Amino acid sequence: MYFDGYDNIFLIYHSTRAAGSILAMLHITLRQLKVFESVARNLSFSRAAEELYLTQPAVSMQIKQLEDNINLPLFEQLGRKVYLTDAGRELYHYSRIISQQLADMELALDELKGLDRGKLTISVVSTANYFAPHLLAKFCQRYSGITVSLNVANRETVLKHLADNVTDLAIMGLPPDGLDIATESFMENPLVVIAPPTHPLCALRHIPVKRLEQETFLVREPGSGTRSAMERFFSEHHISINKSMETDTNEAIKQAVQAGMGLGIMSLHTAELELETKRLQILDVQDFPIMRHWHVVHRKNKRLSSAAHAFREFLLKEAPGLMPA
């Protein structure tokens, strides 16, 4: 059966209106429900406050008013951790349904407006943040009416954004198998070995991979896509490396490598500025670079907005040609 945008709005309107009537009977506001959903999803008042651009006291006040209205506790705190009560789990289930209905209504309205207006929420892994703003700027120049929200996080958090359906699209390396997501590669992501220009290996060519066992490496945290690719590569080559420092930022690795603390392995896109200014140098190591790809990812069967669909097509067709040479 086919429904056009008006039919979709009609159906969403009536289901949302019914939900709104129930909320009114319980004296619950949509604002309270939105705040509750964020706290319940994050199990943190402070993270919900950051997500909603509110103060933590404002979040706590909304939750207190909501609990007073329904006369049931929604959260309990044990130590420093927050947990949902039985009532909280029930309300969280229905709050997600209502939030999705409202999001669907907003999406249907945006589709009727076309690309003249609309919203786009993108989550990117921290390494991709070195090029994602450049591509988003090009996209927004073409579609000036679209408002973009960019979330930068580590790989695990981006996957959680996808699982919680709080982002339209995500940019990351190859996602793990077994998730209910659709993924397409749109650009190469070479991983290279970086060193300070004064390092003795900088003067050598065709360095055997085995030679890297004599060096110390600065690495990303466990769970990082770059860390996983590096460990997989060395395992396949039967090489054990020395690690002197773990960090969750590429900036820390670059600074530590420049300071002479060891070598690093990272995306070429991450180190372009330092390579251009000769603060870092790529080592000519055999079997490098490790060639990976960037992927644009979304939930399977997710109804993409016109803005999300346009950005996905933009990445697949134009992204490599728009990157700085």
Give residue 301's pLDDT: 81
Read off the CATH number of the domain in which 40 is found.
1.10.10.10
Reading the block at residue 167, the tokens are 């982002």
Same domain flag for 259 and 309? no
95, 111, 127 - which closes a domain: 111
Give the pLDDT score at 99.
79
Q: Can you tell me the distance from the alpha carbon of 133 to that of 295, in angstroms, rounded to the nearest whole number?
A: 16
- Predicted pLDDT at 144: 86
Residue 77 is predicted with a pLDDT of: 87
Residue 282 and residue 298 in one domain: no
Same domain (yes/no): 27, 107: yes
Confirm if 286 and 210 have CB atoms less than 8 A apart: no
Q: Of 61, 79, 111, which one is at a domain's C-terminal end?
A: 111
The range of the structural domain enclosing residue 308 comes to 116-187+293-322
Residue 2 has pLDDT above 50, yes or no: no
Residue 189 — left, alpha, or beta (φ > 0 → left; ψ -120 to 50 → alpha)?
Answer: beta
Does residue 171 sit in the same domain as residue 300?
yes
- Residue 75 burial (10 A CB sphere; 0-12, 13-18, 19+): middle
pTM of the model: 0.66
The answer on 307 and 176 residing in a single domain is yes
Residue 282 has pLDDT above 70, yes or no: yes
Q: Which residue has the tokens 């390494």?
A: 127
CATH number of the domain within which 140 lies:
3.40.190.10
Find out whether 72 and 54 touch, Cβ atoms under 8 Å: no
Alpha carbon 149 to its chain's center: 11
191: helix, strand or coil: strand
> How sure is the predictor about 14, in pLDDT bands with cuts at 50, 70 and 90?
very low
The domain tally of the chain equals 3
The DSSP secondary structure of 252-311, one letter per residue, reads HHHHHHHTTS-EEEEEGGGGHHHHHTTSSEE--BTT-SEEEEEEEEEETT----HHHHHH
Indicate if the pLDDT at residue 192 is higher than 70. Answer: yes
Round to whole Å and give the CA distance between 188 and 320. 8
Please check whether residues 136 and 279 belong to one and the same domain: no
Report CA torsion sign: 230, 233, 236, 242: negative
Q: What is the mean pLDDT of residues 291-299?
A: 94
Segment 225-243, tens digit of pLDDT: 888 899 999 999 999 988 8
Task: Give phi and psi for 285, each to the nearest 5.
Answer: -100, 135
- 194 and 45 share a domain? no
| DSSP secondary structure letter of residue 285 | B
Per-residue pLDDT tens digits for 36-59: 999 998 999 998 998 888 899 999
Residues 147 and 281 in one domain: no
One domain for residues 214 and 244: yes
- Both 201 and 152 in one domain: the answer is no
The mean pLDDT value for 253-277 works out to 93
Q: Which residue in the block uniquely carries the two structure tokens 């009114």? A: 24
Tell me: do 167 and 298 sit in the same domain.
yes
